Chains A and B, each alone.
Chain A
Amino acid sequence: MFEVIIGLEVHVQLNTKTKLFCSCPTSFNHTQNTNTCPTCLALPGALPVFNREALHKAVMFGTAIDATINRTSYFDRKSYFYPDSPSAYQITQLYTPVVEHGHLMIDFEDASQKRIRINRAHIEADAGKNIHEGDISKVDLNRAGTPLLEIVSEPDMRSADEAILYLKKLHSIVRYLDISDANMQEGSFRVDVNVSIRPKGEEKLYTRVEIKNINSFRFIQKAIEIEVARQIEAWEDGVYASEIVQETRLFDQAKQETRSMRGKEEAADYRYFPEPDLLKAVVDDAMFAAATQIPELPDAKRERFVQEYAMNAYNAEVITSLPEMARYFETMVALGASAKNSVTWLTVELLGRLKNGVTIETSPVRAATLSMIVKRIEDGTISGKAAKEVLDYLMEHDAEVDAVIEKLGLKQVSDSGALEKIVDEVLLANPDKVAEYRSGKDKLFGFFVGQVMKASKGSANPQSVNDIVKAKLG
């Protein structure tokens, strides 16, 4: 009976080499306040100079979401006092952002899709960080002036699930374009959620509550669900008008609640006006031509995988969720492993072994190695079971696949002379079973194969054993 309305604002930190308006490096995991200069410290007289690499990346994003690219956009000053904002204004793009009117598609499990509109994406400078230690607060300005792309959706999502699908798709696109590290824990992909409710069937929008800076998909999902419940409860208790006000709330993970962040003071007035220290940002023909040539995006890649490798939709989704994963898979196939086995060995065996924050990017077993393991199964050198041992070993040691097979003695015996000898011994040792089999007890075939495998200590190639046993028993 209620409809949930969700809009999302995502701040994506662009992975440019230098800051947005000065030449300081953007790698901010350094000693505090070392990656700074007069400009990002806002010293008297210092001026901003626009880093066009950020514009290039913004145009790539605009292309990916099929948006309007404003070939000329402008910067504006947004005023507010806070210690981590050295100039006490943020340089952003209010009146004419670089990207407008795009969209992306979210995919449901039943294979249906929904279009989520993106109102705008604009370039702006990040603030520094405040560090609170007991009674004192410190300011680190290494991050101040790092370029952000703020991506603002329309309020098109109707549930927490849809919001998460949108965020995952957005995250995946940004990673495919390689315009951001998009690491939620490190704050390079920051999400603000706007939530409101309304009785089903109504068109009007009610009071929108903002929940800020939640750093995982799981927490975002939870925060939305909890906030929606709070709003519905207020409505049902007849206190909606007094309880639900337009404000910013924080999600408290421990207490499982959202809570007001600021007092209900005066509404902030950011006093925007055009930034007089910068010229307009112009996407010239050369930049436009280069930045609109973007790599294959996750949706297209997923479709292609389904078609090209006869992958099921679920596996295609998993493998294309991250560009590194897709690249890993494609490398395995390119080096000769079958697509079918590559999918299993990547998504089940390898991912199952990545623990403690190790990702596909940092995996000790690279695509070429895993591809080789799969090929060794496929050419009969090792069994699937032995391959798992090889992989286990390689997760811990740096070595060649064939050397490991040799070292661990996992090579299958396919040599028919050696195998025939073992089969003969097994048949000789079990004359009664042989008689039973010959009199029609077909089920005993498995027994003979099992005995042969056991006698070979698992090194026999099962297919060869099958063939020989069948031949000997006539």
Chain B
Amino acid sequence: MTLKEALKLSPEEIAQVREALAQKIAQSDLNAYVALDMAGSGIPIAIKDNIQVQGWSVTSGSKILKGYIAPYNATVIEKLHAAGLSPFGRTNMDEFAMGSTTESSCYGRTLNPHNKGCVPGGSSGGSAAAVAGGLAIAALGSDTGGSIRQPAAFCGIVGLKPTYGRVSRYGLGAYASSLDQIGPMTQNVEDAALLYDIICGHDPKDSTSADIAYAPTAPNLSANRKLTVAILPKYVEGASEAVRAGYTKAISALKAAGHTIVERELLDPKYDISAYYITATAEATTNLARYDGIRYGARVEGDNLKDTFIRTRSEGFGDEVKRRIMLGNFVLSSGYYDAYYVKAQKVRQLIKHEYETIFQEVDLILSPVAPSTAYPFGALEDPLTMYLSDIYTISVNLAGLPSIALPVDRDAQGLPVGMQLIGRAYDEQTVLDGAYSLELQLKTQE
């Protein structure tokens, strides 16, 4: 059942859907959900474990927050309630959204519904697996460097990262404040538009929320606009064969649907990686400093105050989180700040400018979401390899642009291949229109 269908149901029918879903989740072995918490009785929406739902134990996949009960609703949750949708189940994620596989969660790994030996992607792996595995009508995820789009691609669903500022971050457990954005993870493009329309909007509680006009996208969704789409032949060279094949397939489909294809180039993505990991870890190290065991969460008593801080954080955080905290502290240290953080911000401006230049002539950019399809568990144990696997998604966060991931193909093992369409800032409509057109074209071709 899609969200669009669910929106037409009566309360009695919704109650039945919820009942059926709860049973299915209980029987599932995917570990997509870490708990089947509920709030309200509306259309059930799965919620990533870093979005605050009043009364829920929201933990960002971390041991350090075990037992913490959120006393308030994130703005997106208030908006769900207002639209007759209800938070239904906390979904698994990489600890504090730091990861690309959902393996770093304190709740254990989530399985990819298409191949249980493979990762679902991350960090919103639980939300992606839930939607792909038929365990959720739709879900909310968060995307800091690809955390909605990459698991969507790995699990063969649609994931939209809105423009930075379009969806309130109030109530989203922060990873990197200038990059984080909540977005819909759905079965198709139309549902993504519907859910996006519900959660977007200016929020005075989030100073970085965009105070501009919000026109609903779903009623205006159109597959018939003829758009100019940039492709990046050189940029794609490093991707796996299956991803390159999927890219070619998507280009053909876009052409067949009547869109104009033009070739462009982007900066060497190695600069994206540096700028991203410096910015994200600098912000993260401060955002995670509040988890010190003093006011909430799991405290480990030490011999003195400093010892308590050290023990709480040493035992509460996992390795990847610790690695990023250390990295962030390093790049902000006196003597290194200019060489790393300041430089990274300059690169970020360059990336932004590069996109703006391209968008003067095109409506959308077609890019892979990840260099490969889903891989087996443990394959990305080397952190640097994992960081490099983000090359196609992070520049979009650095530039604050909207981007939608959608499935376009399958690899030899039957695993989904996803592509993303990147758009101009605040132009979610065009991103959704392009994706809708591509989705319909691919369906026709089948």
Binding site for B on A (CB under 8 A): 38, 41-50, 77, 79, 81, 83, 86-89, 137, 139, 269, 271-273, 276-279
Contact = CB atoms under 8 A, between A and B. Distances in A.
B2 interface: no
A46 B169 CA distance: 9
B71 A43 contact: yes
B341 interface: yes
Given A77-B286, A81-B309, A87-B289, A277 B208 contact: yes
Interface of B: 50-52, 58, 60, 65, 68, 70-72, 74, 169-174, 176-178, 204-208, 282-283, 285-286, 289-290, 292, 294-296, 305-306, 309, 329, 332-334, 337, 341
A47 B170 contact: yes
**Dominant SS among interface residues on chain B:** loop
B332 A271 contact: yes
Contacts of B292: 81, 83, 88
A49 B70 contact: no
B282 A45 contact: no
Contact of B52 (A41, A44, A269, A277): A44
A41 B292 CA distance: 13
Contact of A49 (B178, B207, B309, B337): B207
A413 B72 CA distance: 76
Nearest to A77: B286
A273 B332 contact: yes
25 contacts: A38-B71, A43-B71, A44-B65, A45-B51, A45-B169, A45-B172, A45-B174, A47-B170, A47-B205, A47-B206, A50-B207, A77-B286, A79-B332, A83-B292, A88-B286, A271-B333, A271-B334, A271-B337, A273-B282, A273-B337, A273-B341, A277-B174, A277-B208, A278-B207, A278-B208
A139 B295 contact: yes
B207 A42 contact: no
Contact of A276 (B205, B283, B306): B283
Given A81-B292, A273-B332, A44 B170 contact: no
A276 B72 CA distance: 22
A272 B294 contact: no
A41 B295 contact: yes
The CB with the most chain B CB atoms within 10 A, among A77, A87, A89, A137, is that of A77
A294 to B, nearest CB: 28
**Dominant SS among interface residues on chain A:** loop
Nearest to B283: A276
A170 to B, nearest CB: 30
Given A38-B72, A88-B292, A277-B207, A45 B283 contact: no
Contacts of B174: 44-45, 277
A95 to B, nearest CB: 10
A270 to B, nearest CB: 8
Nearest to A49: B207
A39 to B, nearest CB: 9
The CB with the most chain A CB atoms within 10 A, among B204, B309, B332, B341, is that of B332
Contacts, number: 100
Contacts of A87: 286, 289-290
Contacts of B171: 45-46
Contacts of B176: 276
Contacts of B295: 41-42, 86, 139
A45 B170 CA distance: 6
B338 to A, nearest CB: 11
A45 to B, nearest CB: 4
Contacts of B60: 44
Contacts of A139: 294-295
Contacts of B72: 38, 43, 46
Contact of B290 (A86, A137, A271): A86
Contacts of A41: 295
B95 to A, nearest CB: 13
A279 B208 contact: yes
Contacts of B341: 273
A272 B332 CA distance: 7
A32 B270 CA distance: 51
Contacts of B51: 45
Nearest to B306: A81
A112 B383 CA distance: 68
B334 A46 contact: no
Contact of A45 (B173, B285, B306, B329): B173
Given A47-B169, A81-B289, A87-B290, A269 B205 contact: no
Contacts of B282: 273
B207 A83 contact: no
A406 B425 CA distance: 82
Contacts of B207: 47-50, 277-279
Given A46-B170, A269-B333, A277 B74 contact: no
Nearest to A268: B334
A49 B170 CA distance: 11
Contacts of A48: 207
